[in-house]
């Protein structure tokens, strides 16, 4: 036992080193080769699960900005990669080894290239500071015997033991100090390349407004979900901005015009490939189907499923997702519920708007709560879809009619109808005298987002109207 303690102490001494980017000593139990391997594996998963935004000119632009930042970082020899993922959430994230992504959803809320450089510089800072590797190392070391055994006997772990991490590293939440550290590094890297250090506080102020507005997300969490409150960070980054202004008098570039050139026509919100929410209807023009949820319900579209609830606090909910397995709708229904603890009360084969289906009512217990479920398995094209309504047993009868009505709206889309469904996109408009954010949001020059969202996109408060003659960002039908 004493020998093991000595070995662990020695291990910590070897694993601790001063990081040149931060000046801090860190416990890192991961080699650079392992960082790169994890990043490479995670990159493949990001591209497969989230998808890259299909605009090669924008991808080149983002990569060019990122590579400039990377070349002046503390780890310029990493295989740096920068890409825009096709997600509407407002976020940016990094994997170990230099794989960095921003969502298309954050781009309309950045005012200029200096703010873009601040976002990407922040993520470069995470990689430079080895925040993910440090968090992983702390987890491993805190794991006790098994982790220590794997480290003491590398043949039992090594790189092979890291192969299952991949995308799981992506949302390993950084601590507050790590985020503040990356803010300061982001200011430093952007300023070294001539971008205005004001990009970072400008970015953080916009994110603070979005935090307050509670923006929506898809499968990727919002920045507000993975970072400390943006408003708190503005003050903390102030000293880094002042220092950057003092040391780099030529760091004034914002390149707003060039940035907005790439923003013009960007998809805003949900996309054709991932399905689109329009009012209370969910439309998927690529898979060619549509479903209407009960009016007024809150709908969330993620990569795995579409869900809807009466309200944020309601236990009455519906979901739509692909059924797994092969077979008829009835076979898939019986297979799905065979081990669920829910029993079929009544149901049978039927047709919904000309499509083969199996619809049933089930009851049972989920996590010790008695529930009722109305579920339909519907075949459309080459896929079978599950549409289900779930409620606590005491509320099920009251919700059953809404479930049944919604299930009955599932329909296939014709090729012509699907082709007419277009994404909303970013456009530009010259404000006129008397315009308000509300009038623009309701009028032909907008009409696709809330007034508060338009104001935030333009760096303004909803209570401060745009000035006549200003060129502002709006969202229009594709």
**58 and 94 together in one domain:** yes
Q: Which residue has the higher pLDDT, 42 or 134?
A: 42
Among residues 376, 396, 419, the one where a domain terminates is: 419
Q: How many separate domains does the chain show? A: 3
**pTM higher than the cut 0.85:** no
Q: Is residue 104 part of a domain?
A: yes
173 lies in the same domain as 310: no
Q: Does one domain contain both 219 and 255?
A: yes
CA torsion sign, 98 to 84 to 57 to 117? negative
- Same domain? For 281 and 205 the reply is no
pLDDT score, position 19: 58
Domain shared by 26 and 169, yes or no:
yes
443 found inside a domain = yes
* pLDDT over 90 (residue 419): yes
Rounded distance, CA 243 to CA 240, Å? 5
Question: What does the pLDDT look like over 68-119, one tens digit per residue?
Answer: 999 999 899 999 999 999 999 898 998 889 999 999 999 999 999 999 999 9
Q: Indicate whether 270 belongs to any domain.
A: no
How far CA 34 is from CA of 39, 169, 311, in Å, comes to 8, 13, 45
- Answer with the one of 377, 398, 419 that is the final residue of a domain: 419
Q: Is residue 271 part of a domain?
A: no
Q: Show the domain range for 387.
A: 276-419
Q: What is the pLDDT of residue 144?
A: 39
| For residues 303-327, average pLDDT | 88
How far apart, in whole angstroms, are the C-alpha atoms of residue 294 and residue 478?
A: 26
Q: Is position 71 within any domain?
A: yes
Q: Which of 175, 176, 190 is nearest to 73 (CA)?
A: 190
Provide the pairing of β-strand 99-103 with 81-85.
parallel
Q: Is residue 103 in a domain? A: yes
- Residue 218 pLDDT level (bands cut at 50, 70, 90): very low
Domain of 402, CATH number, reads: 3.40.1000.10
**Euclidean distance between CA atoms 308 and 281, whole angstroms:** 11
Q: In this predicted model, which residue has the larger pLDDT, 12 or 428?
A: 428
CATH number of 473's domain:
3.10.350
Mean pLDDT of 348-372: 92
- My answer on whether 40 and 164 are in the same domain is yes
- Higher-confidence position of 25 and 330: 330
Higher pLDDT pick, 240 / 45? 45
pLDDT at res. 149: 30
- The whole-number pLDDT of residue 462 equals 83
């Amino acid at each position: 036992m004493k020998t093991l303690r000595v070995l662990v102490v020695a291990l910590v001494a070897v694993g601790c080193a001063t990081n040149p980017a931060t000046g801090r000593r860190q416990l890192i139990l991961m080699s650079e080769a392992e960082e790169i391997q994890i990043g490479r594996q995670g990159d493949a998963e990001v591209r497969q699960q989230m998808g890259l935004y299909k605009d090669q000119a924008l991808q080149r632009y983002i990569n060019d900005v990122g590579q400039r930042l990377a070349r002046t970082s503390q780890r310029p020899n990493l295989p740096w990669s920068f890409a825009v993922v096709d997600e509407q959430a407002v976020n940016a994230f990094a994997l170990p080894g230099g794989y960095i992504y921003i969502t298309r959803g954050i781009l309309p809320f950045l005012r200029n290239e200096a703010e873009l450089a601040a976002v990407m510089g922040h993520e470069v800072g995470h990689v430079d500071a080895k925040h993910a590797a440090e968090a992983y190392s702390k987890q491993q070391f805190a794991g006790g015997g098994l982790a220590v055994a794997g480290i003491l006997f590398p043949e039992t772990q090594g790189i092979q033991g890291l192969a299952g991490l991949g995308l799981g590293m992506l949302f390993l939440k950084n601590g507050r100090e790590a985020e503040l550290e990356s803010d300061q590094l982001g200011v430093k890297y952007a300023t070294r390349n001539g971008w205005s250090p004001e990009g970072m506080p400008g970015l953080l102020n916009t994110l603070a407004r979005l935090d307050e507005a509670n923006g929506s997300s898809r499968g990727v969490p919002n920045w507000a979900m993975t970072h400390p409150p943006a408003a708190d960070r503005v003050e903390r980054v102030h000293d880094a901005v002042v220092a950057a202004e003092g040391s780099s008098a030529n760091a004034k570039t914002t390149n707003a015009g060039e940035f907005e050139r790439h923003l013009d026509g960007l998809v805003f919100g949900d996309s054709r490939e991932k399905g689109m929410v329009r009012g209370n209807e969910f439309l998927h023009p690529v898979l060619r189907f549509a479903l209407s949820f009960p009016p007024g319900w809150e709908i969330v579209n993620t990569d795995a499923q579409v869900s809807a609830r009466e309200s944020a606090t309601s236990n009455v909910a519906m979901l739509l997702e692909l059924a797994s397995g092969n077979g008829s709708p009835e076979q898939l229904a019986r297979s799905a519920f065979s081990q669920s603890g829910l029993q079929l009360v009544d149901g049978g084969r039927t047709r919904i708007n000309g499509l083969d289906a199996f619809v049933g009512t089930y009851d049972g217990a989920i996590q010790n709560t008695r529930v009722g479920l109305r579920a339909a398995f519907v075949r459309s094209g080459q896929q079978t879809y599950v549409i289900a309504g779930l409620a606590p047993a005491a509320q099920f009868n009251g919700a059953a009619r809404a479930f049944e009505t919604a299930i009955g709206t599932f329909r296939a889309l014709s090729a012509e109808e699907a082709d007419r469904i277009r994404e909303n996109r970013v456009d530009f408009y010259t404000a006129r005298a008397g315009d308000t954010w509300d009038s623009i949001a309701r009028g032909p020059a907008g009409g696709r987002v809330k007034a508060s969202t338009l104001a935030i996109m333009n760096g303004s408060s909803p209570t401060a109207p745009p000035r006549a003659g200003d060129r502002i960002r709006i969202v229009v039908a594709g």
